[in-house]
């Protein structure tokens, strides 16, 4: 069976320098169990190397059409893993959570490009999406949750097939600041994302140059704004089948959100399945550690306290955006809401 047909052969990453690909042996359960399909993929066995040139040769010989896909784009730490777990229903829908190949393409698109072997990044993306267009039964709708680093290729992914659809799950600036500033390791992570975010902002016409960011709050503002501007641009394009979903709306009304998401993606999710997801399934488990219980009421109480302690920094982030892109400084919604 071709690697392009066999979901038990998961192409986890491209090694352009050595012209290899990593292939992880999988079954349906391992896809569901894996929180992320990157270096943390929970495979059946150790990865094996395969020839990148042979993979490309097979791709061109088969002349495969672009698959119909559903996408969950997001601003990070806003419930996208939880949404993915709720929609991962064996026999009905299959979710690829943050595949590394798409992150690699997004990085290549911003900077140097993959290699002479692959040609341009559009071809690279087409190969990656075709490899992700595999399911275990023909009735399973294929959904992909790219990492937040993939915002710069979101339009290209969504427009690859006329019947593809996307949800843009986002946190408001205030909520994003709370998520990113409440832990020291996330503050450090923000600064690692600055180059990427500067590139995307400058590319979208919001020239912020390469000047120093004075504090963590400004770093949060840069990273958030770069994502939101790209989401906003796509959502305003009526030729694309895209909907927005505020994190707060998802958590406040998960039943409606899941029902609307299932309809958008063409997933046959019954009222009973929705009820299980919200009362005894993923909503009651930690999305990144399903073995641990999760109490949303306690979580929201903790977030409220954290937000109060971060008020000054949140205001600093607002002020920075007001100077750079004033229309986004108080934004609480995006176009075409899902619910």
Q: What tens digit of pLDDT does each residue of 192-208 get? A: 999 999 999 988 887 77
Round to whole Å and give the CA distance between 325 and 120.
32
Q: Cα torsion at 79, 80, 82, 84 (round to 10°)? A: 160
Q: Which of 38, 131, 141 is nearest to 81 (CA)?
A: 38
Burial environment of residue 28 by CB neighbours within 10 A (0 to 12, 13 to 18, 19 or more): middle
Round to whole Å and give the CA distance between 186 and 40.
19
pTM of structure: 0.96
With cut-offs at 50, 70 and 90, classify the pLDDT of residue 113: low
- Token digits of residue 187: 């503050």
Round to whole Å and give the CA distance between 333 and 336.
9
pLDDT at 331: 84
Are 103 and 147 spatial neighbours (Cβ–Cβ below 8 Å)? Answer: yes
Q: Which of 54, 68, 256, 276 is nearest to 160 (CA)?
A: 68
With cut-offs at 50, 70 and 90, classify the pLDDT of residue 27: very high
Instruction: Say which residue, 131 or 207, is predicted with more confidence.
Output: 131
Instruction: Say which residue, 327 or 185, is predicted with more confidence.
Output: 185
Q: Please state, in angstroms and as integers, the Cα–Cα distance from residue 5 to each residue in 60, 135, 144, 162, 236, following that order.
A: 14, 8, 17, 21, 35
Span 286-294, average pLDDT: 93
For residue range 92-102, list pLDDT tens digits in order: 999 999 999 99
Residue 114 has pLDDT above 80, yes or no: no
Span 139-163, average pLDDT: 97
Please, what is the average pLDDT of the chain? 94
Q: Which residues pair with 95 in a beta bridge?
A: 143
Q: Which of 81, 83, 75, 98 is nearest to 250 (CA)?
A: 83
With cut-offs at 50, 70 and 90, classify the pLDDT of residue 121: confident
pLDDT at 210: 65
Residue 7 has pLDDT above 90, yes or no: yes
Residue 209 has pLDDT above 70, yes or no: no
Residue 306 has pLDDT above 70, yes or no: yes
Residue 31 has pLDDT above 90, yes or no: yes
pLDDT at 116: 62
Span 282-307, average pLDDT: 93
pLDDT at 172: 96
Span 222-246, average pLDDT: 97
Residue 239 has pLDDT above 70, yes or no: yes
With cut-offs at 50, 70 and 90, classify the pLDDT of residue 1: confident
Of all residues in the chain, the percent with pLDDT exceeding 70 is 97
Residue 88 has pLDDT above 80, yes or no: yes
Give the three-class secondary structure for 47.
Answer: coil
């Amino acid at each position: 069976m071709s690697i392009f047909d066999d979901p038990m052969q998961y192409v986890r990453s491209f090694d352009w320098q050595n012209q290899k690909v990593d292939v992880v042996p999988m079954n349906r359960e391992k896809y569901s169990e894996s929180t992320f399909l990157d270096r943390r993929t929970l495979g059946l066995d150790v990865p094996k190397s395969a020839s990148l040139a042979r993979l490309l040769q097979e791709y061109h010989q088969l002349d495969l059409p672009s698959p119909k896909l559903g996408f969950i784009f997001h601003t990070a730490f806003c419930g996208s893993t939880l949404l993915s777990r709720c929609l991962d229903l064996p026999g009905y829908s299959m979710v690829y959570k943050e595949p590394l190949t798409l992150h690699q393409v997004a990085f290549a698109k911003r900077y140097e490009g993959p290699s002479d072997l692959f040609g341009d990044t559009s071809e690279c993306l087409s190969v990656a999406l075709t490899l992700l267009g595999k399911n275990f039964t023909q009735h399973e709708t294929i959904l992909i949750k790219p990492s937040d680093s993939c915002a710069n290729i979101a339009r290209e992914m969504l427009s690859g097939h006329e019947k593809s659809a996307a949800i843009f799950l986002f946190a408001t600036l205030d909520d994003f600041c709370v998520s990113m500033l409440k832990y020291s390791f996330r503050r450090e992570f923000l600064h690692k994302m600055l180059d990427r975010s500067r590139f995307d902002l400058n590319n979208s016409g919001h020239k912020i140059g390469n000047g120093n960011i004075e504090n963590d709050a400004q770093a949060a503002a840069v990273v958030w704004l770069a994502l939101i501007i790209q989401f906003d641009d796509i959502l305003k394009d009526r030729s694309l089948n895209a909907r927005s979903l505020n994190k707060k709306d998802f958590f406040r009304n998960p039943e409606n959100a899941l029902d609307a998401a299932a309809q958008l993606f063409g997933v046959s999710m019954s009222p009973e399945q929705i009820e299980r997801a919200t009362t005894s399934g993923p909503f009651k488990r930690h999305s990144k550690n399903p073995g641990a219980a999760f109490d949303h009421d306690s979580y929201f109480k903790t977030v409220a306290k954290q937000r109060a302690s971060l008020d000054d920094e949140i205001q600093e982030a607002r002020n920075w955006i007001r100077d750079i892109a004033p229309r986004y400084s108080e934004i609480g919604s995006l176009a075409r809401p899902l619910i």
